[in-house]
């Protein structure tokens, strides 16, 4: 996951609608079922899906009253904590 991408996508949600990201996730998840995709291509698609879900999570936190900066920090701490485990 890349924080600048998640931040950018969170701003996109604020300017537009989170439904765009949900539909994008569904589309990319569908693409992962293409049998001829190489492992590297699946990795890229997986990374994009992770960033999109991350942006949705950060957006949800901001909707619950957490500042954007704090929501981004909390999210990345949680991600890094799950990697360390």
pLDDT tens digit at each of 85 positions of the chain: 889 999 999 999 999 999 999 999 999 999 999 999 999 999 999 999 999 999 999 999 999 999 999 999 999 888 877 765 5
Nearest 5°: the CA angle 43, 46, 50 is: 140
User: ∠ CA(65), CA(15), CA(10), 5° rounding?
Assistant: 55
Enter the pTM of the model.
0.89
* Residue 13 near residue 55 (C-beta atoms within 8 A): yes
Q: String of b and e for 4-26 (b: at least 16 CB within 10 Å)?
A: ebbbebbeebeeeebeebeeebe
pLDDT at 80: 79
Please state the domain extents for the chain: 3-84
pLDDT at 37: 96
Residue 61 in tokens: 């936190």
What pLDDT score was predicted for residue 20? 97
């Amino acid at each position: 996951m890349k924080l600048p991408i998640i931040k950018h996508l969170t701003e996109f949600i604020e300017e537009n609608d989170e439904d765009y990201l949900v539909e994008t996730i569904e589309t990319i998840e569908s693409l992962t079922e293409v049998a001829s995709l190489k492992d590297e291509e699946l990795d890229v698609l997986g990374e994009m899906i992770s960033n999109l879900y991350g942006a949705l999570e950060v957006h949800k936190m901001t909707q619950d009253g957490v500042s954007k900066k704090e929501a981004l920090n909390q999210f990345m701490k949680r991600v890094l904590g799950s990697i360390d485990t």
